[in-house]
Structures are given as structure tokens and as C-alpha cells.
Amino acid sequence: MSKKTGLTATKLLLYIFFLVAVILPLIRMFVTMAETDVMKLLSSARFKEVLGNSLLVSATATLLSVGLALVLSWCLARSNIRFKSMWVLLFTLPMLIPSISHGMGLVVLFGTNGVITNFFQLSSNIYGFWGIVIGSVLYTFPVAFLMLVDVLKYEDSTPYEAASVLGISKRNQYAAITFPYLRKPLIATIFAVFTMIVTDYGVPLMVGGQYTTLPVMMYQDVIGLLDFGKGSVIGLVLLIPAVIAFILDVVNKDKGNQSYSIKSFEIMKNTGRDVFSYILSAVTSVFVILPIAAFILLTFVKKYPRDMTFSLDNVARALNMNAGQYLLNSIIIALLVAVAGIIIAFAVAYITARVPGRSSKLLHLLSITSLAVPGIVLGLSYVLLFNGSIIYGTIAILVLVNITHFIASPYLMMYNTLSKINGNLEAVGATLGLSRANIIFDVLIPQSKSSLAEMFSYLFVNSMMTISAVSFLATVSTRPIALMINTFEATMMLECAAFVSLLILTINLIMKGGINLYKHRLQKKV
């Protein structure tokens, strides 16, 4: 009886968590929206213009981002180029810095006084439509790449071998085999990338200029004008693509994943293909590294471009403006989010994967609901619900909003891990007089160490670099360091902003490196 009571109490606590952290904030936002003349706002010329801007820039950037990711995935999965792990690391570096840093990187390189602008004496600048597109591609193509590279890596070669024996041309093989195989992953990737771009305000805030997008309009109305009603309406509009992507993900989940033997591709020698793969990988890596190199240049010269002598003045200036304290805030928030997020995600995954029942299915749905809520919308809804509460204006609300924002992916990692472990363990344990706690701590956690490490890394890294949800909730004393980038850029202190971006990148690289080393040691013990 006590075991059942403990499980019921855990379920109840998790329901309360998702009610307070996800459902109630959204309901509060919708209530605030009802106080605004929605039709007047939606029919206004300004809103239509900004909506058109967002859709056009998001569609363009999505096509370029997914196209680049697909070709790069093919290069790594279907060619004989060497150092594939190195290429993967280089391609995914942009995932370790905030989106606003990518926008700032473009300003540093191609702005009116940018490094490349000055070097080549260019008359044009990066601000506007193409600036947002390029920054969004840099920000999102690593995500698309990771979603697609495994799909190609684990594709079965048997249908292609059979088609070749039958004399079917390569073009027809692509139409009949490759395209149907990639269709669902491509659709999921396109919607995921589109949602990331259309709800991001970091890149357009930096390089948009007069070209305003919906998230920037929402940010300006809420932060600048305190118009929460208008912000809520825009938040609802931004929810639509995210909800569509969420529904598609749920509908396509676990389809076509039958267990069967997969025969890997035998990659034949093809010099032209390999040379193309090397060139594209190298060019992409250069574009990834250029902003980081520019950050280093600006950080460690006295004053670009007037005085290029080595100096630590910019580091000192940033530290004098409390960069050290804000970095500590970010690390504390990231660690708390990682630890608490793992506990919550593991508890939910255990119940949904290993305790069958209707309540478990409902808990699963609640756990992945945050996938459909953009960070900027979540941040606004938290302002409306928690304003005046005991946690408002504290580190606690930043931890809570980040857990809510990022918990879905770690939960799904652990759900998949626990689903693969023998489902009869609890029954056998009960026969031997072992409690669920014994099974969890003595069997399940030891077998899930690699997934737990990956969950910790995911939560920590994303909490270090997020700006969307926390931008509405941070105070002067609780501000994470990522929010300083916009502050420094607005006051023309690009050197300090570059230093902050390097700090975030360095911390995240150390974390990722440590976690990868830990996972490597785990594999050696197996």
C-alpha cells in the first residue's frame, strides 16, 4: 500500500508542477489577450507588414538552413572524407552560443565598421532581410544537421543494391527510395527549423535594422511599452507554427521504427565526391569560425580598428560592469536547472515508460507540451502569472522557466532509454522483496548513466545561452550573462559583447568536453 501511495504522490506532484509551470501561465496569457482588441491589432497595417516580414525571412532561412544541413549530412554519411568527428564538432559549434551572438558576429564582421567590411572596403552592410537570413542559417543549420545526419547514417543499403541489380538508374533510385525515406524526417526538420527562426528575436534584434519581425515587435511592446495585451496576441500568433510542429512530431513519432537488420553502405572510391565534400565542409567551417575569430580579435585588441595592440582592457571593462557576477548567475542557474531538470525528467520518464495507465499517457502529453511553447511566449506568460509572487525577481523563477522551456528533450531521452530496459524488472524485484526504489537506484540509474550525462549537458548548455524566456524575467541582480550581449551592443561596446560570447562558448565547450570524456569512460568500462 505504501509503495502505491508513494507512486501516486509522485504523480500528483508532477501534475502540480506542469499545471503551475505550463498550463496556468498560458491560461493567464490568454486571459490578458482577451482584454485587447484582437481583430484591430491583427488587421492593422503594421502587424500585417511585420507578419509578412517574419514569414518571408523564416521561409527563406529555413530552405537555406535545411538545404545546407542535408548536403552536409550527405557529405559525412556518403563520402570517404577523414576526420568526420572533427567536422561534426565544427558544424555544431554555433549551438553553444546564443542566437544573439550570431547576429552580433555578423555586425562585427559585416557591419558599418566590421572587420571584413573594412578589410575589403565594402560599401554595403549586413542590416536588414539578408542579415537576418544569414544569422538565422548560422543559428539553425547545426540543429537541422544533427536531425538529418543520423537518418542518413543508419539508412539501409539493401534496397539500393537490389535496385542496382535490376538496372534502375541513380536518379530513379533517389525518387523511389531516398526521397520516401527522407520525407518524414525532412518535414519534421523543416518545421523545427522554421519554428526556431520565426520565434527567435536574438538575430533580428541585432541585424534587423528597420526590418522588424514578430518576436522583436513583441519584445519592444512588452519591454519598452509594457503593453502586455498586445504582446499576448503576438505570443498566440507565434504559438501557431510551434503547435503545428508539435502535432506533426507527435503524429510521426514511433512510426516506421520496426526492428530489422540494417546493412550499412559500402562507400566506394569517388574522388570528385570526396573533393566536393571536403570543400563544402571547409567553407562551412570557415563561416562558423569567422564570428568566433572576430570575437577573439575584438576582445584582445585595445580598440578596433584604431588601435590593434594586444590589451586586456575590454575584459577589465566587462568585469567592471559586473560580467563576473552575471557569469556566476548563469552558472548557478544552469547547474540548478540541470540537476532539478534531471530529477523531474527521470521521475516523469519512469512513470510514463514503466508504469502503464491513462494517467501515465496524460503525464507524457504534459511533459512534451513545452515543445510547442516558444521561449519568448513562455517568458511573457510567466511575467503575467507570477508578477508579485514570492519567486518573481529571484533566481528561482529563472530556474523554473528554463526547466519548463527545456525539459521535453531530456525527458524524451530518458523515456527512450527506460523503455528499452527489461520491463519485467519491477515484477521480478517485487517477487524478491525489492522496492521500486531499489530497482531505480541499483539497476535503472546505473544503466542510464550515459543518458543522464547527456541530459545534464543539454540542460546546462541551453540554460547558459538562452535569452528568450529569461529576458522578461531577469532583474539587475539576477541577470544571466547572455543578456549582457544586447546591453553592450546597444551602448556600442562590441568588444565587451564579444568577450561575453567567448565566455559562454568556453564554458559550454568545457561542459560538453567533460560530458563526452565521461561517456567515453563509461563505454570503455562496458
The verdict on residue 33 lying in a domain is no
* Range in 95-99, 149-153, 447-451 the model is least confident about: 149-153
Q: How many domains does the chain have?
A: 2
Who contacts 104 (Cβ-Cβ below 8 Å, separation ≥6)? 206, 291, 485, 489, 494, 497, 498, 501
302's enclosing H/E stretch is strand 301-303
Confidence (pLDDT) at 464: 95
Are 280 and 318 within one domain?
no
Confidence (pLDDT) at 250: 65
Cα three-residue angle 255-258-260, rounded to 5 degrees: 150
Q: Residue 124's CB: how many other CB atoms inside 10 A?
A: 10
Are 239 and 279 within one domain?
yes
Q: Copy the grid coordinates of residue 14.
A: 508532477
412-418-424-427 Cα dihedral, nearest 10 degrees:
-90
Are 296 and 328 within one domain?
no
Confidence (pLDDT) at 252: 63
| Residue 384 lies in domain | 1-25+312-526
Are 386 and 433 within one domain?
yes
249 pLDDT above the threshold of 70:
no
Are 208 and 347 within one domain?
no
399-439 pLDDT tens trace: 999 999 999 889 988 988 888 887 777 777 777 777 778 88
SS3 breakdown of the chain: % helix, strand, coil, rounded to 5? 75, 0, 20
The verdict on residue 116 lying in a domain is yes
Q: Copy the grid coordinates of residue 525.
A: 568500462
pLDDT band at 257 (very low <50, low <70, confident <90, very high): very low
The verdict on residue 499 lying in a domain is yes
54 pLDDT above the threshold of 90:
yes
The verdict on residue 35 lying in a domain is no
Are 291 and 329 within one domain?
no
Are 167 and 32 in contact by the 8 Å Cβ rule? The answer is no
476-478-481-486 Cα dihedral, nearest 10 degrees:
-40
pLDDT band at 526 (very low <50, low <70, confident <90, very high): low
pLDDT band at 264 (very low <50, low <70, confident <90, very high): low
Return contacts of 480-485, CB within 8 angstroms, 24+ apart.
Answer: 480/326, 480/329, 480/330, 480/333, 480/398, 481/323, 481/326, 481/327, 481/329, 481/330, 482/98, 482/100, 482/330, 483/326, 484/318, 484/321, 484/323, 484/326, 485/98, 485/100, 485/101, 485/104
Q: What is the pTM of this model?
A: 0.88
Q: How far is it, in rounded angstroms, from Cα 115 to Cα 96?
A: 23
470-496 pLDDT tens trace: 988 999 999 999 999 988 888 888 889
Of all residues in the chain, the percent with pLDDT exceeding 70 is 94
355 pLDDT above the threshold of 50:
yes
Confidence (pLDDT) at 265: 65
Domain boundary residue among 288, 305, 322? 305
Burial level of 518, CB count in 10 A (0-12/13-18/19+)? Answer: middle
308's enclosing H/E stretch is strand 307-310
Give how far the C-alpha of residue 458 lies from the chain's centroid of Cα atoms, to the nearest Å. 9
Are 448 and 413 in contact by the 8 Å Cβ rule? The answer is no
Burial level of 474, CB count in 10 A (0-12/13-18/19+)? Answer: buried
The verdict on residue 31 lying in a domain is no
pLDDT band at 256 (very low <50, low <70, confident <90, very high): very low
Are 375 and 409 within one domain?
yes
Three-class SS state of 310: strand
The radius of gyration of the chain from alpha carbons, rounded to an integer in Å, stands at 24
Are 372 and 437 within one domain?
yes
Are 258 and 135 within one domain?
yes
389 pLDDT above the threshold of 80:
yes
123-145 pLDDT tens trace: 777 889 999 999 999 999 999 99
Are 248 and 342 within one domain?
no
CATH number of the domain that 525 lies in? 1.10.3720.10
Are 95 and 207 within one domain?
yes
Q: Which residues of 55-93 are buried (b: 16+ CB within 10 A; e: fewer)?
A: eebbebbbebbbebbbbbbbbbbbbebeebeebbebbbb
Confidence (pLDDT) at 91: 93
78 pLDDT above the threshold of 90:
no
Domain boundary residue among 305, 335, 354? 305
The verdict on residue 30 lying in a domain is no
Confidence (pLDDT) at 239: 84
253 pLDDT above the threshold of 60:
no
- Residue by residue, DSSP assigns 323-345 as HHHHHHHHHHHHHHHHHHHHHHH
Q: How far is it, in rounded angstroms, from Cα 441 to Cα 434?
A: 11
The verdict on residue 9 lying in a domain is yes
Are 284 and 149 within one domain?
yes
Domain boundary residue among 305, 330, 350? 305
Question: Cell 516580414 appears where?
Answer: 53
Three-class SS state of 404: helix
The verdict on residue 345 lying in a domain is yes
Are 152 and 74 in contact by the 8 Å Cβ rule? The answer is yes
